[in-house]
Structure 1
Amino acid sequence: MCGIAGIISAKHNIEDLQEMVKLQKHRGPDHTGEYTDPGFCRLGHNRLSIIDLSAEANQPFTDNSGRYHLTFNGEIYNYIELKQQLKGHYNFKTNSDTEVLLAAYSVWGKFCLNRLNGMFSFAIWDSLEKRLFAARDRFGVKPFFYVKNDNEFYFSSEIKALNSILKHSDPNERVWANYFAYGSYGMPGDTFYQAIQQLPGGYFLEFQDGNLKLEKWYNFKNRLKAYSGTLSFKEAKQSYTEILKDSISLRFRADVPVGFNISGGVDSSLLLALVNKSQENNKIRAYTFYTGHKNYDELAWVEKMIKTTQNPLKKVKIQPINVIEKARFLSDIQDEPYAGIPTLAYAALFEAAKKEGIKVLLDGQGMDEQWAGYDYYQNSNNINIIQGLGKTSPFKLQVLNPEFQKLAKKPVYPKPFNNNLQNLQYRDLFYTKIPRALRFNDRISMAYSTELREPFLDYRLVEFAFSQPETHKIFNGIQKFLIRKILEEIAPKNLSYAPKRPLQTPQREWLAKELKTFTDDNLEKLRYSRASNWFNFKEIEKEWKNYQAGDNQSSFHIWQWINTALLMGD
């Protein structure tokens, strides 16, 4: 897990690259490296050492021929198996997955991508052809932002690094308008900045002689054809369990301590149970947060599970003062809007892990999208893509100035399947929930120089689960049915049938009470921010008064305005 940066330009400037890597140092404090091809290219790298901690594995990494130069962010979990396949074609000098990745590209070219099991964002400079090749993993776990400016090309792991090159980047008002009107965080190639784009998950790009080409390398629908055979429920449960165990085992490949984040839900309970079946549980530390608010805390469920496994548990309490102390810091880290106090609370786990010397954490992201865990998968209430809203709309269009509101266009998502359930799952996996969560989580884990691994997002698991019949996912109204049956065999039954709980913090209560002054201050900052002309502040005042008077089924709109003030207030 690292930070990558690059400048492809005849006028490249060493100071510009150095500023880019400096701004991303939190992503990799263990080593900073540079590569230069004079007159053509500069690559930068911030290293967080996880596999092969030696200096020989530092980046940018050059292959044996001296032709290819790699800057890489992420992990190739199956690097040991790939190394065996490549040994007859490449003379390895390190034990790193970095060298395996570069060897795979030098031998197989772009077709190496389909062989990789991992989370990755990388760029390879071909010093012979003067061509840049860059790619992003299937689901976009690791970020890749870029700017194309005439014949120049810049890329980085974080937006702030590119903003240092641009000096000033105007907001992408279309994306902002959709955020306020529909809760959208943009389409796969969008950012909240006009000049900055991102490479979508499952795509690669090539840049040569001023020409940029993007191409999709991961065709999810085509991949599902391999799962056309119908398995019985018992067979599906057995097959999925085997892949799941292998996925977890692969994600324990590290030369540093590994821990994991746990909530009281089915997914993290399953992760905890399987981890303890395959690893020495007395060495694996679990992290969870709580607020002391009985309507939201999952601590009782967590402690019930931990009691059966005896893992060391670090409980991190989140209080309103933490929001005041950390909100601006996380806003600067995110560069774009984030999801509120739950994101801030989750960030506290990475901060706690870092203090205790844990460099790698696992979590249970991805099960709801695979196995139809959200309520709307069976009640068709799929209007809103924001969880935990109650019955009222979180979108207050009347607070937007008419001209700005006109920029908002309701996002239209592809429907490549012949049934509503799979189309909703597809939307959430590639366009809404997973991209949003991965973006939030990458930036908060990296803020504390820790690596987050998500074993449930192994592409084999996602493809297998997605292809299963609806009755394996939802049976007699019970969602994530197959997963619950797996957990039932290895954990207390009351845990395997725990209900879905979308909200984990008392955000709606805190904003109106304990954080009222914080909210007031930020609404005032919004009035004098760069975004002030987007809003009708009389309507904002009205909504804020209504909220304090008890109209608070949704706090999403209040957080949107706070978020905007934090990002756009100078």
Structure 2
Amino acid sequence: MCGISGIIGSKANTAHITKMTDALYHRGNDNISHFTEKGIVLGHNRLSIIDLNASANQPFQKRNQPYILVFNGEIYNYIELKEELKELDHQFETSSDTEVLYEAFLEWGENCLERLNGMFAFAFWNTATKDLFAARDRFGVKPFYYYMDEDNFIFASEIKAIQEVVKANLNKKVLANYLMYGSYGLPDETFYETIHQLAAGTFLKVHQPKIQLTPWYDFVTRVHKKRKELADIDETTAKKEYKKLLEKSIALRFRADVPVGFTLSGGVDSSLLLALINQRKDAGKMKAFSFYTDDKRYDELPWVEKMTKKTQTDLKKICFTPEDFSTWHKKMSYIQDEPYGGIPTLAYAKLFQEIAREGIKVVLDGQGMDEAWAGYDYYQTSSDQNIQGQSASSPFKLNVLSEDLKRAAKKPDYPKPFGNELLDKQYRDLFYTKIPRALRFNDRLSMAATTELREPFLDYNLVEYAFSLPEHFKIRNEQGKYLLRQILKEYSEDIAFAPKRPLQTPQREWLADELQEEVEKHINALESSTFAKYLNFDEMKEEWKNYLSGSQESSFHIWQWMSLNELIKIDVNHQ
């Protein structure tokens, strides 16, 4: 796991690329190297996971080849690809997945992407043709941001690295959509006007000053085909085939030359992950980590401890308290560059800091099951909401926004490629809402601790299979993830059929009590900020008063104001 950066154009110099790699120091500091040539600089921050030797350092180039590679991520099936490439007479000098990616690109060009099972964002610079080719993995697990004007193309793993070289104004439309609809932007957008994302499953080609974007992962077509294959499958076969795919996915993500751990909650997803990991021969070496807030209304420790006791897994518990809030909120606001998901994200960040202190560099996590298996309650309703456990009242307070800001908003209109309400909701959450923002939050907080996070449940074979199964395998008896629960039932029946728990921390209560002063500091700071003209502070203070009086169906609007204030402070610091 690493950080990548580069500049093509007039700003390409050693001073700028050094600033960029310095900004990405937390993403990897086992080795930091640059490639410089007239009109092009590349940077790489390495966190050594596979092949710890210096020969696998990047930027990576092989003798007599024009390509320079910078790569962030892991190619999990690199061993199998390496054997295939050896049969095609490719020679290898390292045991790294970096070199396998390099040789795969030499052999198959852009078509190599279809052969990769992994999480990745990478760029190849061709020193002969002066072209750049860059790509991002199927679900966007690894980030790729870019800026382009007439003279420069600049890319990096995080927004802050780009802002070391060019300044970017906040994106008024994305901010308005966040405050009005809870959107964090479309797949190609960020909270900054001139800084974009390379969308998941997309590659780009740059020949300055032209850029060409091409989607390479056709999820919809693949699912249409898979649905026909699975239309008449029986439950026993489906369970057997999915479990086999799941075990393979976990095995691939165990490939590392450093210690591996995993995070654990009391839900179906992570409990199943624990159960399957426990069957591995090296399970005894594994450590599980879980956070709690010492609030029995929300903590999942009873379920976590029940599973770890059954599997005899070494569990480390990390408590997140209101006293932790201020430090972690400032740190995560800087690390994330954009608004993020509340106190659960902060607790998760503290958890990863403790994981790093234990000397663990690779962590497995249970992200992705709810979207593939229709686990959220709103999948069983006709509403278009995407917030698990949300009450009928809106979590957004439009009355605090100016008319000018409201006019800037444009309600996101997500594609509906399947013509099926459930599938279209799942598709929206996989590619536009839930998964993109969760992956961004989790990439930043894990890399802030200089650890690598792997999500076995987001293996594309698993997602496509679960997504394509008939609906009765997903939802039955008003409960999602039916077949998944049947698999977990073999290990723990009571956890398998526990209801989905949407909240993990007492955020609503803390904001009104222990963190009341923090909230008021943010509101006061907004009132004296450059963004004040877009807000109605009489309405905001009235909403805050109502919240303190017990109107706490949702705390999201309070969190939005705090996030907005931090975003404005970061923006001011970059001016």
**Range that drifts further, 505-514 or 387-396:** 387-396
Q: 1:530 offset after TM fit, Å?
A: 2.9
Segments of 5+ residues of structure 2 without an aligned counterpart are none
C-alpha distance in structure 2 between counterparts of 1:355 and 1:473, whole Å: 39
Q: 1:389 offset after TM fit, Å?
A: 3.1
C-alpha distance in structure 2 between counterparts of 1:443 and 1:407, whole Å: 28
Name 1:211's counterpart in structure 2. Answer: 210
Name 2:250's counterpart in structure 1. Answer: 248
Report the residue type matching 2:82 in the other structure: K
Q: 1:380 offset after TM fit, Å?
A: 2.4
Change beyond 3 A, Cα 1:386–1:534 = farther
Question: Is the aligned partner of 1:411 residue 2:409?
Answer: no
C-alpha distance in structure 1 between counterparts of 2:436 and 2:449, whole Å: 21
Match runs of 1:503-514 below 5 Å: 503-514=503-514
Contact 2:512-2:548 within 8 A present in 1 as well: yes
Question: Is the aligned partner of 1:319 residue 2:328?
Answer: no
Report the residue type matching 1:195 in the other structure: T
Name 2:171's counterpart in structure 1. Answer: 172
Name 1:290's counterpart in structure 2. Answer: 292
**Range that drifts further, 7-16 or 203-212:** 7-16
C-alpha distance in structure 2 between counterparts of 1:358 and 1:531, whole Å: 42
* Aligned with residue 309 of structure 2, among 307, 310, 313: 307
C-alpha distance in structure 1 between counterparts of 2:247 and 2:214, whole Å: 32
Contact 2:378-2:387 within 8 A present in 1 as well: no
Question: Is the aligned partner of 1:566 residue 2:574?
Answer: no
Match runs of 1:118-133 below 5 Å: 118-133=118-133
Q: 1:237 offset after TM fit, Å?
A: 0.8
Name 1:498's counterpart in structure 2. Answer: 498
Name 1:194's counterpart in structure 2. Answer: 193
Alignment partner of 1:270: what SS?
Answer: helix
Match runs of 1:367-378 below 5 Å: 367-378=369-380
Name 1:105's counterpart in structure 2. Answer: 105
C-alpha distance in structure 1 between counterparts of 2:208 and 2:26, whole Å: 33
Alignment partner of 1:247: what SS?
Answer: helix
C-alpha distance in structure 2 between counterparts of 1:173 and 1:341, whole Å: 25
C-alpha distance in structure 2 between counterparts of 1:312 and 1:281, whole Å: 10
Name 2:343's counterpart in structure 1. Answer: 341
Match runs of 1:457-496 below 5 Å: 457-489=458-490, 491-496=491-496
C-alpha distance in structure 2 between counterparts of 1:359 and 1:493, whole Å: 32
Q: 1:210 offset after TM fit, Å?
A: 1.3
Q: 1:532 offset after TM fit, Å?
A: 1.6
Report the residue type matching 1:309 in the other structure: T
Deviations 1:10-44, CA, capped at 9 Å, x for gaps: 451210110000000100011101112x2231110
Q: 1:234 offset after TM fit, Å?
A: 1.1
Report the residue type matching 1:157 in the other structure: S
C-alpha distance in structure 2 between counterparts of 1:516 and 1:276, whole Å: 43
Q: 1:382 offset after TM fit, Å?
A: 2.7
Contact 1:11-1:39 within 8 A present in 2 as well: no
C-alpha distance in structure 1 between counterparts of 2:503 and 2:126, whole Å: 47
Q: 1:529 offset after TM fit, Å?
A: 2.1
**Range that drifts further, 373-382 or 79-88:** 373-382
Q: 1:164 offset after TM fit, Å?
A: 1.1
Contact 1:281-1:309 within 8 A present in 2 as well: no
Name 2:266's counterpart in structure 1. Answer: 264
Deviations 1:505-530, CA, capped at 9 Å, x for gaps: 00000000000111111111111223
C-alpha distance in structure 1 between counterparts of 2:388 and 2:15, whole Å: 44
Q: 1:224 offset after TM fit, Å?
A: 1.8
Q: 1:363 offset after TM fit, Å?
A: 0.6
Deviations 1:89-127, CA, capped at 9 Å, x for gaps: 321000000000011001100000000000000000011
Q: 1:531 offset after TM fit, Å?
A: 1.9
**Range that drifts further, 81-90 or 386-395:** 386-395
Q: 1:278 offset after TM fit, Å?
A: 1.9
Name 1:234's counterpart in structure 2. Answer: 236
Alignment partner of 2:469: what SS?
Answer: coil
Deviations 1:147-191, CA, capped at 9 Å, x for gaps: 01113100000000111111x311000000000000000000000
Alignment partner of 1:478: what SS?
Answer: coil
C-alpha distance in structure 2 between counterparts of 1:50 and 1:76, whole Å: 11
Q: 1:390 offset after TM fit, Å?
A: 2.6
C-alpha distance in structure 2 between counterparts of 1:13 and 1:529, whole Å: 35
C-alpha distance in structure 1 between counterparts of 2:444 and 2:75, whole Å: 20
Name 1:521's counterpart in structure 2. Answer: 521
Report the residue type matching 2:69 in the other structure: L
Name 1:278's counterpart in structure 2. Answer: 280
Contact 2:153-2:208 within 8 A present in 1 as well: no
Change beyond 3 A, Cα 1:279–1:347 = farther
C-alpha distance in structure 2 between counterparts of 1:11 and 1:155, whole Å: 12
Report the residue type matching 1:488 in the other structure: K
C-alpha distance in structure 2 between counterparts of 1:97 and 1:118, whole Å: 10
Alignment partner of 2:279: what SS?
Answer: helix
Q: 1:281 offset after TM fit, Å?
A: 2.3
Match runs of 1:422-437 below 5 Å: 422-437=423-438
Q: 1:444 offset after TM fit, Å?
A: 0.3
**Range that drifts further, 523-532 or 45-54:** 523-532
Report the residue type matching 2:417 in the other structure: P
Q: 1:280 offset after TM fit, Å?
A: 2.4
C-alpha distance in structure 2 between counterparts of 1:512 and 1:205, whole Å: 46
Alignment partner of 2:163: what SS?
Answer: helix
Report the residue type matching 2:244 in the other structure: E
Contact 1:388-1:554 within 8 A present in 2 as well: no
Contact 2:35-2:43 within 8 A present in 1 as well: yes
Moved over 6 A (4+): none
Contact 1:70-1:125 within 8 A present in 2 as well: yes
C-alpha distance in structure 1 between counterparts of 2:172 and 2:208, whole Å: 31
Deviations 1:434-467, CA, capped at 9 Å, x for gaps: 0010000000000000000000000000111111
Alignment partner of 1:456: what SS?
Answer: helix
Alignment partner of 2:73: what SS?
Answer: strand
Name 2:449's counterpart in structure 1. Answer: 448
C-alpha distance in structure 2 between counterparts of 1:122 and 1:551, whole Å: 47
Q: 1:225 offset after TM fit, Å?
A: 4.0
Alignment partner of 1:277: what SS?
Answer: coil
Contact 2:47-2:450 within 8 A present in 1 as well: yes
Name 2:139's counterpart in structure 1. Answer: 139
Name 1:387's counterpart in structure 2. Answer: 388
C-alpha distance in structure 2 between counterparts of 1:93 and 1:112, whole Å: 20
Report the residue type matching 1:161 in the other structure: A
Report the residue type matching 1:159 in the other structure: I
Report the residue type matching 1:539 in the other structure: E
Q: Please tell me the root mean square deviation across aligned C-alpha atoms, in Å.
A: 1.0
Report the residue type matching 1:329 in the other structure: K
Report the residue type matching 2:16 in the other structure: D
Q: 1:6 offset after TM fit, Å?
A: 0.3
Alignment partner of 2:278: what SS?
Answer: helix
Contact 1:28-1:449 within 8 A present in 2 as well: yes
**Range that drifts further, 365-374 or 387-396:** 387-396
Contact 2:485-2:497 within 8 A present in 1 as well: yes
Name 1:402's counterpart in structure 2. Answer: 403
Deviations 1:387-432, CA, capped at 9 Å, x for gaps: 3433321110000011111111110000000210000000000000
Alignment partner of 1:278: what SS?
Answer: coil
